[in-house]
Amino acid sequence: TTETVGINWFLEPVPQEGGSGSGSIIDTRGYVLTNNHVIDKAYKVFINLADGSQYEGTLVGTDPENDIAVLKFTPPKGMQLKTVPFGDSSNLKVGQKVLAIGNPFALERTLTRGIVSGLGRPIQTSNQNIIKDMIQTDASINPGNSGGPLLDSQGRMIGINTMIYSPSGGSVGIGFAIPVNTAKRVVAELIQYGKVRRGWIDATLVQLFPALVNYAKLPVSSGLLVSRTKRNGLAEQAGIRQGTEPVRYGADVIYLGGDIITKVDGVKINRLADLYSALEDNKGGDKVPVEINRSGKTITLEVTLADRDSILSSE
């Protein structure tokens, strides 16, 4: 459960009850895995265990792009926490039996069962991020289940129940879970760094739009135009060319004539969100194939990625 801060009639901050969700203890030191949207904007987080005890938790780190968060609480001395073991989501099969545990509508520790209905679903979240390779299940998932584990028949976590497709707000048999292999990679980063380190192309990129395509007579209608590259940066060293002709668009200046990025690491790039998705599992220092369009010709370059936070914070 969470506690948020509201503003009263006198413009004073006052605590108020937040929402509730589910989570899994993944480490005997008190680390808890849940969804980011469960604890987003929370002022306080309380963790309720199966024995009825409640502890105040602290936020270790979040990854909004995968809707994952890690919390931590300190168990009393002598208490041995039981953890949910990680399974493997890479070898799941459609039709495989699964179990979902959570707190739908605040009904604690509810168990539902179903099957894996589909695999590899790219699903867009409410904040416009695309989570790749989600597991579709018909196990009943409702509000309050978010953050809880999706288990295989042997009790191993194979996913994190995250969202449902429903015109009514209740379960209609179409639920989605983040694969546990994504969670394992993200959790390790969150516990060690408090965030997920990711790679980025060290260049100023502009998403193509019809007015720009028509004005510049570009050979493609979708992709990312390389406006500027960092001098002697990794993208420039890889052979990516920046624009040379400055034009003003609103308050911004776009340099035309540069390469147009159309594919990164095998993922087709139509918009900036596609680049975030393509590089979600890459870190700075990784090398990825980048397909560009240069004056109508398709060229593939190998680009070493820079650290994303340092690049975007400097723009």
How does pLDDT run across 87-110, given as a tens digit for each residue? 999 999 999 999 999 887 767 778
Decide: residue 59, CB within 10 A, 0-12 exposed, 13-18 middle, 19+ buried. middle
Of residues 24, 37, 117, 140, which has the active-site annotation?
A: 37
252-255 contacts: CB < 8 A, separation 24 or more?
Answer: 254/206, 254/212, 254/225, 254/227, 255/227, 255/228
Yes or no: say if 22 and 34 are a contact pair by the CB < 8 Å rule: yes
Write phi, then psi, for 57 (nearest 5 degrees): -105, 160
Cα dihedral sign, 224-230-231-236: negative
Q: What is the pLDDT of residue 116?
A: 93
Q: What is the spatial distance between Cα 191 and Cα 29, in angstroms, rounded to a whole number?
A: 12
Q: What is the spatial distance between Cα 202 and Cα 207, in angstroms, rounded to a whole number?
A: 15
Reading the block at residue 26, the tokens are 């993944």
What DSSP character marks residue 86? B
**pLDDT higher than 60, residue 75:** yes
Q: What is the spatial distance between Cα 40 and Cα 215, in angstroms, rounded to a whole number?
A: 42
Mean pLDDT of 158-183: 82
**pLDDT higher than 70, residue 295:** yes
* pLDDT band with cut points at 50, 70 and 90 for residue 130: confident
Average pLDDT over all residues of the chain: 87
* pLDDT band with cut points at 50, 70 and 90 for residue 261: very high
For residue 275, the SS3 value is: helix
**pLDDT higher than 80, residue 313:** no
Q: What is the pLDDT of residue 16?
A: 61
Who's near 163: CB < 8 A, 6+ residues apart?
123, 125, 146, 175, 176
Q: Is 295 a catalytic residue?
A: no
**pLDDT higher than 60, residue 1:** no
Q: What is the spatial distance between Cα 194 and Cα 167, in angstroms, rounded to a whole number?
A: 36
**pLDDT higher than 70, residue 4:** no
Q: What is the spatial distance between Cα 76 and Cα 30, in angstroms, rounded to a whole number?
A: 10
Q: Is 133 a catalytic residue?
A: no
Q: What is the pLDDT of residue 155?
A: 92
% of the chain residues with pLDDT over 70: 90
Beta bridge partners of 280: none
The amino acid occupying position 266 is G
Q: What is the pLDDT of residue 69?
A: 94
Decide: residue 182, CB within 10 A, 0-12 exposed, 13-18 middle, 19+ buried. buried
Mean pLDDT is lowest, of 143-147, 165-169, 225-229, 286-290, for: 165-169
For residue 219, the SS3 value is: coil
Mean pLDDT of 214-241: 93
Mean pLDDT of 167-171: 59
Mean pLDDT is lowest, of 105-119, 250-264, 277-291, for: 105-119
Domains of the chain and any CATH numbers: 2-72 (2.40.10.10), 97-193 (2.40.10.10), 199-314 (2.30.42.10)
Max intra-chain CA distance, the chain: 70
Q: Is 37 a catalytic residue?
A: yes
For residue 139, the SS3 value is: coil
Of residues 67, 138, 152, 265, which has the active-site annotation?
A: 67
Beta bridge partners of 157: 86, 151
Yes or no: say if 229 and 314 are a contact pair by the CB < 8 Å rule: no
Mean pLDDT of 22-29: 92
Model pTM score: 0.80
**pLDDT higher than 60, residue 211:** yes
* pLDDT band with cut points at 50, 70 and 90 for residue 293: very high
Who's near 231: CB < 8 A, 6+ residues apart?
none
Write phi, then psi, for 203 (nearest 5 degrees): -150, 160
Q: What is the pLDDT of residue 201?
A: 94
* pLDDT band with cut points at 50, 70 and 90 for residue 2: low
Yes or no: say if 147 and 160 are a contact pair by the CB < 8 Å rule: yes
Of residues 24, 146, 171, 227, which has the active-site annotation?
A: 146
Yes or no: say if 240 and 227 are a contact pair by the CB < 8 Å rule: no
Q: What is the pLDDT of residue 264?
A: 95
